Amino acid sequence: MPDQGDVPQPTINRLPVYLRILKAAAREGLETLSSSDMERRTGISSDQIRKDLSYFGEFGKPGTGYSVATLLGRLMNIMGLDREQPAMIVGAGNLGAALTGYPGFAEWKFRVAAVYDNNWSKIGRRLWDLEIWDIQGMAQRNRKMGIEIGIIATPAEAAQAVADTMIKAGVRSILNFAPIRLEVPARIAVRNVDMTLELHVLSYRRKEKDRTAQPPKRTKPQ
């Protein structure tokens, strides 16, 4: 197997897509899937798919394709999804509440195991089945819990301080919903979900589309 250090980021971003369609195929009872089958389900070219998978090993059988069960298992392992992943959320506002209760997380072994806030009126109250804890006590609490995934659902102003606190408490991966660029040590992985930014891009694209005639073709790269 090649060194995973040099896997291109676009490839890594596509792995979860493969995971998802493999899971669907497994549910449908399919035993194998060729790269062309996968192209049909993902919109990603079969060439690209074979290339992506080849970074991690040889999983397919010429003439047949990929065993759904095997590839699913291997990818889960490669991505570290073969054991449960506890996460903490900071920010018990509307967004934090929605994320804490989001059913899509549990489906993939992510479990929100702690919710923190700095607001006295929220600390001690319940959010779903969790008590909201004081962010001040995070370092202490997390010594025992050892959560390594942090989700930031606070306003932009608070986000950097929250990130710093998380990192001190042992968090190594951050999913940031605040519209701000976090400064973190290089060893910390950060992904940003920036909803306003996405709307801005849409706003631009819409203007752009006004000027070009449209062939009525379905399905396109997004």
Q: Which is nearer to a second copy, 47 or 164 (CB)?
A: 164
Contacts of 136 (CB under 8 A, 6+ apart): 118
Answer with the entry of DNA, a second copy, none that 108 interacts with (C-beta below 5 to 8 A by kind): a second copy
Of the pair 59, 105, the CB lying nearest DNA is at: 59
CB 123 within 8 A of CB 147: no
Q: List the end-to-end C-alpha distance of the chain, in Å, as a whole number.
A: 31
Return the number of the residue (66 or 133) whose C-beta is nearest DNA: 66
Distance CA 146, CA 126 (A): 22
Q: Which does 81 bind (CB under 5 to 8 A by kind): a second copy, DNA, none?
A: a second copy
Q: For a second copy, which is the closer residue by CB, 98 or 161?
A: 98
Shortest separation between residue 43's beta carbon and a second copy, angstroms? 6
Whether the Cβ atoms of residue 141 and residue 65 lie closer than 8 Å to each other: no
Q: Which amino acid is at 210?
A: D
| C-alpha count within 13 angstroms, C-beta hemisphere, residue 189 | 5
Could you give the CA distance from residue 91 to residue 116 in angstroms, rounded to a whole number? Answer: 6
- The option from DNA, a second copy, none interacting with 141 (CB < 5 to 8 A, set by class) reads none
Which of 34, 33, 40 minimizes the C-alpha distance to 69?
A: 33
Asked if residue 56 lies in contact with residue 15, where contact means CB atoms within 8 angstroms, the answer is no
Strand partners, 150: 88, 174
Name which of residues 33 to 72 contact DNA (CB under 7 A). Answer: 34-36, 45-48, 50-51, 53-54, 58-66
Nearer to a second copy by C-beta: 23 or 141?
23
- Minimum distance of a second copy from residue 111's CB (angstroms): 11
Min CB(52)–a second copy separation in Å: 12
Identify the bridge partners of residue 191 per DSSP, sorted by sequence position: 175
Q: Which of a second copy, DNA, none is residue 8 near (CB under 5 to 8 Å by kind)?
A: DNA
Which option in DNA, a second copy, none does residue 61 bind, with CB closer than 5 to 8 A by kind?
DNA
Rounded Cα gap, residues 62 and 34, in angstroms: 9
The nearest distance, CB 41 to a second copy, in angstroms, is 8
- By beta-carbon proximity to DNA, the closer residue of 30 and 167 is 30
Interacting residues toward DNA by CB under 7 A: 8-11, 34-36, 45-48, 50-51, 53-54, 58-66
